[in-house]
Amino acid sequence: MIIEFTLNNEKVKMDVEPTMRVLDLLRNDLGMSSVKEGCGEGECGACVILVDGRAMNSCMLPAGAIVNRSIVTLEGFKHTEQFKVIEAGLLKAGSVQCGFCTPGFVMAIESLLNQNPDPTDEEIKEGLSGNLCRCTGYNMIIKGVRLAIEKGAGLW
Amino acid sequence: MKESISTSVLRVDSRKKIRGEAEYISDWKFENMLYAKTVRSTKAKAKITAIKLPDIPKDYYVVDRNDVPGVNRMRTVVSDHPIFAEEDVQYIGQPILLVVGPDREIIYKIVSQIEIKYQEEEALFTLEEAEKRSTVFTDYNYKKSDPKKAFEQAVRIIEDEYSTGYQEHVYLEPQGIAAEYKDDTLFVYGSMQCPFYVKNALLETMALPEEKIRVVQTVTGGAFGGKEEFPSLNGCHVAVATHKTRQPVVMIYDRDEDILCSTKRHPSITRFKAGLDEYDQIIALDIDVLLNAGAYNGLSPVVLQRAIFSATNVYNIEHLNVRGRNFMTNLVPSGAYRGFGAPQTIFGIEMMFQDIALILGIDPLEYKMRHLLKQNDPTCTGGSIHEEVKMKEIVQKAVEQSDYYNKLKTNKKYQGIGISLFLHGCGFTGKGETLIKGKIILQKNKDVVILKVSSVEMGQGAETVLPKIVAHTLDIPIEKVIYETVDTGLIPDSGPTVASRTTMIVGGLLRECALEMKARWDEAETFEVSKIYKHPDFLHWDDDTFHGDAYPVHSWGANVAEVEIDPITYELTIKKITAVFDVGVPIDERALIGQMQGGIVQGIGWATIEVMKTANGKLIQKNLTDYKIPTSMDVPGIDCDFVLNPYEFGPFGAKCAGELSFVGSPPAVAAAVENALGKPIKDIPITPEMLMEIDNDH
Ligand code: FES
Ligand code: FES
């Protein structure tokens, strides 16, 4: 089936199996290697992308589900102001260890702040609860989000 | 004034990771690359009677034991695991053959058409069965003083038994590995902790000369011990496949396959018999440690050594009889996991102290403090505690910061607080370091310094901390110190990235090199300084009798856990952890706190929600839907603090840290649960079902 969607603000048109995972489409056919596969079953959030601004696990999305929708991956998002602020927060808080979870977290943080620009710590925890990190124990990621919120007031 | 070494710097690797630009092995592309999928045993113990292959299309290959050019065994401490199964299989998930080819869909189709016929045999799975049938791989024993006589003289004897379960590493990046030939040199690339282990395994399995093998570590998405010995197995798999096909071969596991076949933390039982004198002091201990090693012994013997050498934890017990056994069962082999056997026995002894104190009606913390080791005391193996022991200061801080005694008094039922004391022996056990003889090179190239070590970055921060030690010594910016990718063809063997040895041992060597380089800085534009590890002379160890200094030095700590139990659902909430550590001197405080918090949360997971069980040799929890690890919703606030205690032989006074972080939270949580329910906890993981049963058992 021929599908059309936008990827990082560019139109894409391609012929795919409608049941193919968006994760594979992005990684294998479109070279979006920031999108990671940690579990392939919707549990870890390493594969999170934005679909119309909302975080979704791309391993659970069939290609047929993104027709005419706007997809953003870190390859596109890293050029935005919001990204710079999130990056600065994560750097400063020491939120990154092995880094395999990090791209998914960055996208989930953007989605969270899109919906709730001023979350409490509890709301941050809840908003990121679909993303697993085995290295940090989360405290320093939450702190990174806090720093981003302080620095990026008004951006979201 | 120059900044202290503990002042944090930005991690060298964090920017590229935040930007999604770090290239893990699954992001690598090779020209003409083939994929590989492993066909595995579906039986726990069986003879393979026939393998029926479908027609294999052109450009597709089946790779099995007949393709192994050298030895069909994975080289490790005990080289007993076949690279590919031979006549029999010993566990579900054991690799039998690979299907290799250019298109993954077609590979899966071929795999689904392969028929393997088995003749099943009686298998065994639990430690209890294994003990009954004496399927012992390794049986160790050591004694201190005269336990027999001490037990005769004891006025009271108390016995108890504690158990711990499996733990899956869940490094977020599943195992991944690739191989290719460049001219006639074999290259293996992948996610790993120990490139030289993989190289040594390849030497035997591929029967190639040393200079024809290069192993290159790629960005590694977490490891925790799970990528210590395992990549020697999948590394040999792709190497044999590339040898047969003469094309690059890539093999990335999905999570289910990873959980099915990768190593796990050894399930354990630890039995204690304590002999008390008339003052209630424990004068003698009989300790019996049982580990479930799974189907192959692998590196289980050294895990068992650390388990039994840590079994008396921070306590000075005069008379000891310690036995440790690894048992063979028909389960996936257990292996290295952060703490390496020590968390199992330390959980046991911490709970034993707590339980005996409660029986005696003494405050558990006070009872523990009465038995504490001091400087120059003998260790359990008859070595010596060479370092100053700052446990009193550590405990005082933890108690004050958590308001421990106040909460202990005012907590209502279903609220609990508990404390654990613990240590970790730094570096390899016994003679390990002298056998490895880690070598490192520091190279000056004009104003840049290149650091050549085989310690890998796997998330723990080596790529930042090691250059920082050099930069700080030479008084140059950290940007001027280049940490070279670990490639066994270009880097000396400074030993594996294990045993919390990287900062202390390898960092210590780097510090020595850097000091020499500093003294000779103006000598030339480019020159090299190299050092080989030398064990301090005052350390003695006898591998046959297990007598002497099992570890050169220890790191120490105390954790306080606060919990709450829902009286209806029995759901357990960890409210807060207060942790105080002595790791010598922190090399980078933020990086260190990251390590400590991560380890504490892994420990909480192991003690509570990480349930992994088997039924007839099959894992019941097969994926991350069934096997839960802590999420952001499960973690408490964690306060971390450090007590400074510089170690003469560590760089800037640093000791070990990475594993220490894991050891304390499980017994602290269990002690807090005991406090909340007023009933003893003897087994982890602590599940709501278990709590309900304990609470309602009168
Ligand atoms: S890979 Fe998609 S949620 Fe884990
Ligand atoms: S940094 Fe390793 S999983 Fe999050």
**Rounded mean pLDDT of chain B?**
97
| Dist. CA B162–CA B670, nearest whole Å | 12
Collect all residues with Cβ–Cβ distance below 8 Å to B178 and sequence separation of at least 6: B25, B28, B30, B33, B188, B189, B190, B238, B248, B249, B250, B251
Contact list in A for residue B461 (CB cut-off 8 A) is: 97
Q: Which amino acid is at A23?
A: L
**Looking at ligand 2, which atom is closest to the CA of residue A97?**
1
C-alpha A41 to ligand 1 mean position (Å): 6
Contact list in B for residue A103 (CB cut-off 8 A) is: 18, 20
Residues B371, B380 contacting (CB under 8 angstroms): no
**Measuring from each residue's beta carbon to the nearest atom of ligand 2, which residues come in under 6 Å?**
A 96-101, 133-136; B 172, 222, 459
State how far residue A106 is from chain B, nearest Cα, in angstroms: 7
Predicted local distance difference test score (pLDDT) of residue B354: 97
Contact list in B for residue A34 (CB cut-off 8 A) is: 19-21
| Dist. CA B85–CA B82, nearest whole Å | 6
Contact list in B for residue A135 (CB cut-off 8 A) is: 172, 222, 459, 594, 598
Q: What is the ipTM of this complex?
A: 0.99
Q: Hey, is the C-beta of A109 within 8 angstroms of any chain B C-beta?
A: no
Three-state DSSP state, A72: strand
pLDDT > 90? residue B523: yes
**Contact at CB, B633 and A125, closer than 8 angstroms:** yes
**Crossing angle for the helix pair A139-151 and A81-93, to the nearest 10 degrees:** 140
Among the listed residues B316, B320, B311, B317, the one whose alpha carbon sits nearest the alpha carbon of residue B342:
B311
Predicted local distance difference test score (pLDDT) of residue B1: 59
| R_g over Cα of chain A | 15
Contact list in A for residue B174 (CB cut-off 8 A) is: 37-38
pLDDT > 70? residue B565: yes
C-alpha B25 to ligand 1 mean position (Å): 17
Cβ of A108 below 6 Å from ligand 1: no
Cβ of A38 below 6 Å from ligand 1: yes
> What pLDDT digit, counting tens, does each position of A20-71 carry?
999 999 999 999 999 999 999 999 999 999 999 999 999 999 999 999 999 9
> What pLDDT digit, counting tens, does each position of B67-84 carry?
999 999 999 999 999 999
| Dist. CA B350–CA B315, nearest whole Å | 10
HEC readout, B52-112: ECCCCCCCCEEECHHHCCCCCECCCCCCCCECCCCCEECCCCCEEEEEEECCHHHHHHHHH
The edge-to-edge listing of strands for the beta sheet with B481-483 is B481-483, B448-452, B439-445, B526-532
**Contact at CB, B13 and A96, closer than 8 angstroms:** yes
> What pLDDT digit, counting tens, does each position of A64-119 carry?
999 999 999 999 999 999 999 999 999 999 999 999 999 999 999 999 999 999 99
Residues B691, B677 contacting (CB under 8 angstroms): yes
| Other CB atoms within 10 Å distance of the CB of residue B83 | 27
pLDDT > 90? residue B3: no
Report domain A80-151's class. Answer: mainly alpha
Q: ω before B685 within 30° of 0 (cis)?
A: yes
User: Which of A23, A50, A134 has the highest number of chain B CBs within 10 A, making it the mutation to test binding with B?
Assistant: A134
Cβ of A104 below 6 Å from ligand 1: no
Report domain A2-76's class. Answer: alpha beta
Closest-lying ligand to the alpha carbon of A107?
1
Three-state DSSP state, B592: helix
What part of A 74-93 touches B (C-beta under 8 Å)? 74-75, 78, 86-87, 90-91
Going by pLDDT thresholds of 50, 70 and 90, the confidence category of residue B2 is confident
Pairing of strands A2-7, A70-72: parallel
C-alpha B637 to ligand 1 mean position (Å): 26
| Dist. CA B121–CA B90, nearest whole Å | 10
**Looking at ligand 2, which atom is closest to the CA of residue A99?**
1
Predicted local distance difference test score (pLDDT) of residue B676: 97
C-alpha B229 to ligand 2 mean position (Å): 21
State how far residue B168 is from chain A, nearest Cα, in angstroms: 11
**Which residue's CA is the nearest one to ligand 2's atom 4?**
A133
**Contact at CB, A137 and B19, closer than 8 angstroms:** no
Three-state DSSP state, B596: helix
| Dist. CA A27–CA A35, nearest whole Å | 7
Going by pLDDT thresholds of 50, 70 and 90, the confidence category of residue B697 is confident
Going by pLDDT thresholds of 50, 70 and 90, the confidence category of residue B289 is very high
pLDDT > 80? residue B698: no
**Looking at ligand 1, which atom is closest to the CA of residue A39?**
4
**Contact at CB, A106 and B18, closer than 8 angstroms:** yes
Among the listed residues B581, B591, B585, the one whose alpha carbon sits nearest the alpha carbon of residue B559:
B581
Mean pLDDT of all residues in B252-269? 98
Among the listed residues B183, B194, B195, the one whose alpha carbon sits nearest the alpha carbon of residue B489:
B195
Contact list in B for residue A133 (CB cut-off 8 A) is: 172
| Exposed/middle/buried for residue B77 (C-beta within 10 Å: 0-12, 13-18, 19+) | middle
The edge-to-edge listing of strands for the beta sheet with B637-642 is B415-425, B554-565, B572-582, B637-642
> Rounded to 10 degrees, what is the CA torsion of B672, B673, B678, B681?
-110
How many Cβ contacts (< 8 angstroms) between chains A and B? 165
To which H or E segment does residue B670 belong? helix B665-677
To which H or E segment does residue B40 belong? strand B34-40
| Dist. CA B500–CA A80, nearest whole Å | 39
Closest-lying ligand to the alpha carbon of B630?
2
C-alpha B100 to ligand 1 mean position (Å): 25
Say how many CA atoms lie within 13 Å of B114 toward its Cβ.
Answer: 24
pLDDT > 80? residue B684: yes
C-alpha A97 to ligand 1 mean position (Å): 19
Pairing of strands B319-328, B282-294: parallel
What domains are there in chain B, each with its CATH number?
25-343 (3.30.365.10), 372-378+390-426+551-698 (3.30.365.10), 438-532 (3.30.365.10)
User: Which of A21, A98, A106, A128 has the highest number of chain B CBs within 10 A, making it the mutation to test binding with B?
Assistant: A98
Instruction: Provide the residue ranges of all domains of chain A, joining segments of one domain with +.
Output: 2-76, 80-151
Closest residue of B to A77, CA-based? B19
To which H or E segment does residue B164 belong? strand B156-164
pLDDT > 70? residue B594: yes
Q: Find the CB nearest B255 among A38, A124, A137.
A: A38
Q: Find the CB nearest A139 among B221, B223, B638.
A: B638
Going by pLDDT thresholds of 50, 70 and 90, the confidence category of residue A153 is confident
**Contact at CB, A91 and B22, closer than 8 angstroms:** no
Strand segments, DSSP code E, in B176-277 are 176-182, 185-190, 213-217, 249-252, 268-276
Cβ of A39 below 6 Å from ligand 1: yes
Closest residue of B to A79, CA-based? B19
User: What's the pTM?
Assistant: 0.98
Q: Find the CB nearest B20 among A103, A137, A138.
A: A103
**Looking at ligand 2, which atom is closest to the CA of residue A95?**
1
**Percent of residues, chain B, with pLDDT higher than 90:** 98
Predicted local distance difference test score (pLDDT) of residue B562: 98
**Contact at CB, B633 and A139, closer than 8 angstroms:** no
Residues B578, B401 contacting (CB under 8 angstroms): yes
**Contact at CB, A139 and B21, closer than 8 angstroms:** no
Beta bridge partners, B190, equal B177, B217
> What pLDDT digit, counting tens, does each position of B657-669 carry?
999 999 999 999 9
| Exposed/middle/buried for residue B475 (C-beta within 10 Å: 0-12, 13-18, 19+) | exposed
**Crossing angle for the helix pair B589-607 and B342-360, to the nearest 10 degrees:** 70
> What pLDDT digit, counting tens, does each position of B415-470 carry?
999 999 999 999 999 989 988 899 999 999 999 999 999 999 999 999 999 999 99
Site of tokens 């650091």: B451
